[in-house]
Structure 1
Amino acid sequence: MRCLCAFSLLLLASTTNANWVEDVVGHVGGMFHSYEEPPYSVDARHAGYEERTYPAKKWVCSKEESDDGTQIMEHLFWRLFRYIDGENVQVPVTTEFTALREMNSFKMCFFIPEKFQNNPPTPTNAKIAVTLRPEITVFTRTVGGYMTTASDWLSEAASLSELVEADGIKVSLVHMFWVGYDAPLKFWNRRNEVWFPKV
């Protein structure tokens, strides 16, 4: 079926306006690859994880509180996607998770690529802000597959925290970052990370 759809798209493309075809191919192609990621240095490698430092950089962010992490992440993603889609920018996504007493706080951010760092487009949505994140050092590891729910991320956080704390390093399970690097239609060698800020 997928082959038939792809063939139909190519057949349709051969009979339509070239500009429209370029737009469709650009958007579809963007769903299959990875994006520009923020620069970092690896400060130390440990058994099963590493310590990294990310320099201060600009991100575009949106924040909400919710008791349903999966639903709010989707809502935040599409809000931010409308911002980057207007500028044709494709970027990795971080979600800053903070557990609160009654509701959890979710702050989703898209990295602003280097070519836009000095002058990022101004958001038109009042719930979106360009933010200069300060330098941060984190403990992390890369895992594959799809991380689609808050429970997926929290499960990985629990596994990573065991590794880090086995080395005598304390991490917080109430404040962390969930990072996805890949387009939705990249099926193999996917990259997901939980970041625990170094205290």
Structure 2
Amino acid sequence: MAEPIQQLSSNNQGRSHREQVPFALLGRKEKCGEILYEKRHYEKGHWACITMHEETYEQSICYGFMRIMKYICQQNSLGDYLGMTLPIVTVVRTDENHSGISHNVTVAYYLPTEHQAQPPQPLDNDIVIEIWPAAVVYTRAFSGPTNEVTIINQINILAELLDSPEACVNDSFIVAGYTNPAHSNRQNEIWFLERH
């Protein structure tokens, strides 16, 4: 299982760069020089997604990430390394009062620009290529591990900071990861999707 991670590390030091999922910054709320949250617009795009249902959220994202990495590294119809984009996102679902997270977790990878028009097909039958519609998201950065407790905390913190949290979807959230899930000091964001 470590092989895709090593490939990710070595590829990033050499020929490839990490492409950011493109977005337009619509605004941000700051207090005393600290960014409380940002409002962004993400374009419609192709994402490779896998839904996992493990014992814990942590296991679901780790196993899901490994399988997505295998798709990125070689297990695709091109048989080639596709290139890394950041963040890798996980879609989490909660109950209405945000006290618990469903064990069904979707891990998703945004296909690099060169593969957006014709996404390479996964060899893993559980990975599906989806077109995600354009979306406005409210996002807040946080660091450290991502487990059920920290995610629920981050959801509640962002809900309190927003002027009108009711304008956002309230039972499905996105955790955006900018570092490997095995990394101890992960750089993450919590995303709220604005309702259409």
Q: TM bucket by the smaller chain?
A: 0.7 to 0.9
2:151 aligned residue: 153
Residue pair 1:180, 1:193 contacting (<8 A) in 2 also: yes
**Structure 2 CA distance for partners of 1:97 and 1:31, relative to 1, 3 Å:** farther
Q: What is the TM-score when the length of structure 2 is the normalising length? A: 0.74
Q: Which has the higher helix share?
A: 1
| RMSD (CA atoms) | 3.1
Q: 1:42 aligns with which of 25, 30, 41?
A: 25
Identify the structure with the greater strand proportion. 2
Partner residue in 2 for 1:175: 172
User: Mean Cα displacement is larger for which, 35-44 or 120-129?
Assistant: 35-44
Q: Which runs of 5+ in 1 are unaligned?
A: 1-23
Q: Give a deviation string over 1:114-171, Cα, whole Å, max 9, x none.
A: 011112211011100111111111111222x33342322222222111111xx13324
Read off the aligned partner of 2:171 and give its amino acid letter: V
Structure with bigger gyration radius? 1
Structure 1 equivalent of residue 91 of structure 2: 96
Given candidates 21, 30, 33, the residue that maps to 2:12 is 30
How does the TM-score come out when normalised to structure 1? Answer: 0.73
- Counterpart of 2:56 in structure 1 is 68
In the aligned structure 2, how far is the partner of 1:187 from the partner of 1:31? 20
Contact 2:121–2:129 (CA under 8 A) maintained in structure 1: yes
State how far apart, in whole Å, the 1-side matches of 2:155 and 2:85 are: 23
Structure 2: segments with no counterpart, 5+ residues: 1-5, 31-35, 75-79
Aligned length: 172
Percent sequence identity over aligned pairs: 22
Please list the CA deviations of residues 75-116 of structure 1 after superposition, one character each: whole Å capped at 9, or x if unmatched: 111111110011322222000111369943211101111011
For the residues of structure 1 that align with 2:118 and 2:169, how far apart are their CA atoms?
34
Q: Write out aligned runs for 1:1-199 (5 A).
A: 27-28=9-10, 30=12, 35-47=18-30, 48-66=36-54, 68-86=56-74, 87-88=80-81, 89-92=83-86, 93-99=88-94, 103-143=102-142, 145-164=143-162, 167-170=163-166, 171-183=168-180, 191-199=187-195
Corresponding residue number in structure 2 for 1:7: none
User: 1: distance between equivalents of 2:101 and 2:191?
Assistant: 23
C-alpha distance in 1 between matches for 2:180 and 2:101: 33
Q: CA deviation at 1:57?
A: 0.7
Cα deviation, residue 55, structure 1: 0.5
Matches of 1:182 and 1:61 in 2, distance apart?
Answer: 18
